[in-house]
Amino acid sequence: MNVIVKSSSLHGAGVIIDGFGTAAFVNHCCDPNCETDEIRRRIWIIALRDIEAGEELTYDYNLYDGEPGEDAACYCGVKGCRGTMFSEEEVARQKRILLRRKQKKARMKSHRR
Ligand SMILES: [Zn+2]
């Protein structure tokens, strides 16, 4: 049996997603049993597989707007946990920014000599 939980709604063209309702308590997991989707201007939490009664609902937050070096640690404990709630793309983006900053700092330091 798949479960669909009606969640928060969108106001305007992708401007604000309300964080109220039961769905606001769904935790992140690197191996989630649900995913989010926008259907007719509403955010839905949709089961990815059968879910046992009493099993915690989770979805992958795939955070994408962090500051380079920011910690969004994940403690989900599943095998293969990324260790962060940031998406793999966000982790790569932040690494690139930190590397560029480091290279720029090194260049500025070498110009001062
Ligand atoms: Zn995890």
Q: Compute mean pLDDT per 10 residues along the chain, 113 residues long, and list them.
A: 48 51 87 91 89 95 89 95 94 94 92 75
Q: Which positions ≥6 away from 100 have C-beta within 8 Å?
A: none
Predicted pLDDT at 43: 82
Q: For the chain, how many structural domains are there in total?
A: 1
- Across the strands, what pairs with 11? 16
Tell how far the Cα of 71 is from the centroid of ligand 1, in angstroms: 13
Tell how far the Cα of 84 is from the centroid of ligand 1, in angstroms: 6
What is the span of the domain harbouring residue 14?
A: 2-112
Tell how far the Cα of 16 is from the centroid of ligand 1, in angstroms: 26
What pTM was estimated for this model as a whole? 0.73
Predicted pLDDT at 113: 66
Tell how far the Cα of 28 is from the centroid of ligand 1, in angstroms: 8
Predicted pLDDT at 12: 43
Measured CA to CA, the distance from residue 79 to residue 81 in angstroms comes to 6
Tell how far the Cα of 79 is from the centroid of ligand 1, in angstroms: 8
